Each structure stands twice: as structure tokens, then as C-alpha cells.
Structure 1
Amino acid sequence: MNVIIADDSKVVRSIVEKAIKTIGYSSFQAIHGGEAIEILEKMGGEIDLILMDWNMPVMDGFNALVNIKKNPKFSSIPVIMLTSESDDNKVKMAHDAGAAGYIRKPFTQDELLDNIQQVINES
């Protein structure tokens, strides 16, 4: 299972990478939404899941989500928003745009892995 971790925080990317390695997943790291899309275009059908922060420079996670879901090549890849944005309107916006899940920071490793398993089982 290949996962893109898109977050401008190196610490968060490292924490998430360590957590998903415990369940045998591999990761590609992106520091903004545009870079996540570049990885998608290079890796094509090899990406199984995207974990995306909302607030990032260059291209934020919401705009990246919208672009990913508009592209028929990538629209079936589940995206979980992993963010400090807790406003209910933003949660609704993300779900309406096609996010498969929404995890608020701070999170525990168990919360992260449980959410990933739930999304993978539903897709």
C-alpha cells in the first residue's frame, strides 16, 4: 500500500510515516498540495491513499483535494484530511469535495490507523 503524506510540517510527516510503516505501508512525502499532485502524476496507479493537511503553502490541501477529485485518473483514490482545521464548515466542505475522512490534529497513532483502516475497508 502506497500513501502520499502531504503536510508542510516535517515533524508531522515523520510521525505519520512511522505510524503507517507499522502496518506495512510505504509513503511518499509532499510539502504542499501541488507536490502531492506531481507525485500522483508520476506514480499513477501506484498510490492507494492520500493523507492531506489543509494549511500548506503554494497549494493548500483543500484545493489539491478538489483537483484530485476532478481528475478521472485519480478521483477514486481516497483522501483523508489530516489537519488542525476544526471548523465544522471546513469539515463539511472537505466531505462535499470528496474527502473520505477527516482527522483533527493533534491525533494519536491509534486514531490515525483506525481511520485509515476504516477508509481502506470502505473503498
Structure 2
Amino acid sequence: MKLLTIDDSRTIRRVISGVGAMIGFEVLEAENGDVGIKVLENQGEEVALILLDWNMPGMNGLEVLKLIKADPRWMHIPVMMVTTEGEKDYIIKAIQAGAIHYQTKPFTQEEMASRIMEALGMGGL
């Protein structure tokens, strides 16, 4: 199983990749929504969880989330928002659009590992 992180911050992608590796997952990286969709088109059947930033150039995270949830190939893949946007309105919009989890930045590696496990139905660490 693989994780897909879609975030314009290389640092955040690297941290999530490290956390994923620590708990036994290969992590695919995309620097924006367009690249993330291309990764799904090529490897979507292998992706167990998508970690999605909200604020990115081009399509924002909510737009990417809606595209993913509208596509029968990917609509079953759980999506966790990973963003600096912590206001209630953002969280509500993301959940209504189909996100199953919401993690605000900054986060510790332990928090992220626990959230990933919860989002995959494996319980926290």
C-alpha cells in the first residue's frame, strides 16, 4: 500500500514521506493538484490514503478533493487534509466534500503517524 502526499511544500512532503516510511508505507509525492491527479491516473489502484494540502498554486486542496471524490476510480480512497487552515469553516467544507480526517500544520511526526493509522482504520499509535 502507498500513501500519496499532495503539497506544494517540499519540506512537508519529505516529513510525510519519512513518517510513512517509519510506519511501513511507500509515499508518492506531488507538488500540486495537477501532478497529484496524474499520479492517481498512473498508480491510483495502489494508493491507500491521500494526504492533501489546502493552499497550493493552481487547484487548491478543496478543488482536488472534489475531483477525487467525483471520480469512480478514486472516490473510495480516504483523504486527509493536512493544512495550516484550522478554522471551523475550512474543516466543515473539507468534511462535507469527503475528507475523513483533518490535520493542521505544524504537527509532530508522532501526531502524523497516529493520524495516518487512524485514517486507515488501524487505530492510533
TM-score range, shorter chain: over 0.9
**Alignment match, 2:67:** 67
Where 1:3 maps in the other structure, the secondary structure is strand
Which structure 1 residue ranges, 4+ long, deviate > 3 Å from structure 2? none
Structure 2 equivalent of residue 32 of structure 1: 32
Distance between the aligned counterparts of 1:111 and 1:31, measured in 2?
A: 22
CA distance in 1, matches of 2:43, 2:15: 23
Which structure 1 residue ranges, 5 or more long, are not aligned? none
Aligned to 2:112: 112
> What is the CA distance between 1:106 and its match in structure 2?
0.5
What displacement does 1:44 show? 2.9
Counterpart in 1 of 2:77? Answer: 77
Q: Distance in 2 between matches of 1:27 and 1:112?
A: 13
Does structure 1 residue 93 correspond to structure 2 residue 93? yes
Identify unmatched segments of 5+ residues in structure 2: none
Structure 2 residue aligned with 1:21: 21
What root-mean-square deviation, in Å, do the aligned CA atoms of Structure 1 and Structure 2 show? Answer: 1.0
Calculate percent identity across the aligned residue pairs: 38
- What's the secondary structure of 1:34's corresponding residue? helix
* Counterpart for residue 45 of structure 2: 45
